[in-house]
Amino acid sequence: MASDGIKRDITQGLLDQANYTYEKKDGAKIVTEVRKQLSTYFATKKAAAARLAKKIQTLYDDFLIRNVTVPPGSKLGDLPLDVYWDSDVPGRLPKDTIQFDS
């Protein structure tokens, strides 16, 4: 399998020809740099998700006001449960469906 799958003879020859040099690395510095990059990446993603959620809420509110009979100025969270049921908000669910292990 090694001969057929990864062409062991060819790849081993390439590895044998490689120039291996010692290079000292500062692990703490690398970890700090990776932490900064990941922090920036996830902060950007979180901000984008928040902007998207806000836009979706606005679009949904506008849609409901135009297409559903609701009092003017109502917002998504203010609508009665028969119009909008948000299953992600535990307080909006029937009390008998939520069980927490303590």
Supply the Cα-derived Rg of the chain in whole angstroms: 28
Looking at per-residue pLDDT, the higher value among 36 and 71 belongs to 36
Rounded to two decimals, what is the model's pTM?
A: 0.44
Give the highest mean pLDDT range of 17-21, 24-28, 67-71.
24-28
The pLDDT value given to residue 45: 94
Residue range 33-56: mean pLDDT, rounded? 93
Written as one string, the DSSP assignment of the chain is: -HHHHS-HHHHHHHHHHS--------HHHHHHHHHHHHHHHHHHHHHHHHHHHHHHHHHHHHHHHHHS---TT--GGGS-TTT---TT-GGGS-GGG-----
Mean pLDDT of the chain: 79
Region 5-22: what's the mean pLDDT?
Answer: 85
